[in-house]
Amino acid sequence: MPSPRFSPVEELKPDDVCAFLFPGTGSAGVPDLAGLAATGPATARAVTDVLDAVQEGLPRSGWPSLRSILLVDPGGYRAAARTPGVAQLSSYAASVAVDRALRAHGVHPRFAVGQSFGEIAALVCAGAFAIADGARMAVAAVGVLARRGRGGGMGLLEAGEDATRACIEAAGAPEVVVACLNAPEVTVVSGPDGPLDTVLDTARGRGVNAVRLAVPYMSHHPAMTGADDEWYALIRDCPQRPLELPVHSPVRGRAYHDGDDLHRAMADCIVRPVRLPEALRAVHAAGATVFTEAGTGNALCQCARLTVPGVRTLAPLRDRPRHGLTGKAASGVVPARDQEDGS
């Protein structure tokens, strides 16, 4: 829960340079936007404006009112989140709302990093897309991933990339690939259900903590080739505007620029792996002194601390602790034991 008083600027030094981190979907439970809105008029206005803009981008039927389930009556969130996509769009709305609330209190980003699904929010908050268009793109992504990636899933290993690849080889499961490197010793794999479970069992047999993630489809996997083109075709008409700040992509391995087709860049995430530590180190080298979680929880802040030892972090919308190890939530998905969160 956020504190009754929302004053993030007091935690910063006058010369601090903030990098906003945008987590993947469902990373830390129910977004407490009601608690955030209750901290003052500026944050309340930011939250309501964002929720209204996100709602504008949702289909007219089959979707609940996000203002109702996230702001007016949060008790209805869990039931509403059983509808596919609601948790993902709620996470997107939370990221944009936290970004706007921070700015309303004088905390402005110099850099942005989006992790997996979080790239949509990162690019919206950097000015490249409108909030409603970001919601439209998120809805389309959920549909494509659920349709094209079913029969597979994702798992997390508390191991580095080399050790994870060794587990895949020992399991004899080449269909499983490294999908996301969240931190130097936190790796997410993706693949068909059977081979994926074999890899996780093999990892446990080698003394590696491994958990199946509550995601009913593959992502960041070469077998998803074609799904990226399908999503691209659905989102390419959303107008792209000039970037207002650098957005460092863990997929492209560099900052985007206005000459990039950002619709294509986002679509690449469906097939290509995410390498978050490289992006975090690049942003730190470019001058960022504080990594700030633009969303619920502090999973990406934890990843930043593991990747850049000693770096300062700020998590203004920390959810109740739900994950035992850094990065379990930062893959953009949550462990199977947390499925009640609707992810």
Looking at residue 10, what is its pLDDT? Answer: 81
Per the prediction, the chain carries an average pLDDT of 89
Report residue 29's pLDDT band, with 50, 70 and 90 as the boundaries: low
Confidence of residue 335 (pLDDT cuts 50, 70, 90): very low
> What pLDDT was estimated at residue 51?
97
For the cut 60, the answer to whether the pLDDT of residue 326 exceeds it is: no
For the stretch 68-93, pLDDT in tens is: 999 999 888 988 988 888 989 999 99
pLDDT at 27 over 70: no
Tell whether the model's pLDDT for residue 213 goes beyond 90.
no
- Burial of 237 per CB tally in 10 Å (0-12, 13-18, 19+): exposed
User: Do 135 and 123 form a contact (C-beta atoms < 8 A)?
Assistant: no
Per-residue model confidence (pLDDT) at position 333:
35
Q: Give 319 or 171, the one with higher predicted confidence.
A: 171
24 vs 116 pLDDT, higher one? 116
Confidence of residue 340 (pLDDT cuts 50, 70, 90): very low
pLDDT level of residue 268 (50, 70, 90 thresholds)? very high
Mean pLDDT of 129-135: 98
Q: Give the separation between CA 113 and CA 20, rounded to whole angstroms.
A: 6
Q: pLDDT tens for residues 152-174? A: 999 999 999 999 999 999 999 99
What's the pLDDT tens digit per position in 250-260?
A: 999 999 999 99
Segment 270-285 shows an average pLDDT of 97
> What is the C-alpha separation between 87 and 56, in angstroms, rounded?
17
What pLDDT score does 5 carry?
A: 64
- Counting beta carbons within 10 angstroms of the beta carbon of residue 174, is it exposed (0 to 12), middle (13 to 18) or buried (19 or more)? exposed
Query: The whole model's pTM is what?
Result: 0.89
Instruction: Say if residue 66's pLDDT is above 60.
Output: yes
Compare 212 and 336 and report the one with higher pLDDT. 212
Q: How far apart are CA 254 and CA 166, in angstroms?
A: 28
Percentage above 70 pLDDT, the chain: 90
Distance CA 85, CA 202 (A): 32
Question: Can you give 241-283 as a three-state secondary structure string?
Answer: CCCCCCEEECCCCEECCCCCCHHHHHHHCCCCCEEHHHHHHHH
The tokens describing 71, both together, are 């702001």
pLDDT at 192 > cutoff 70: yes
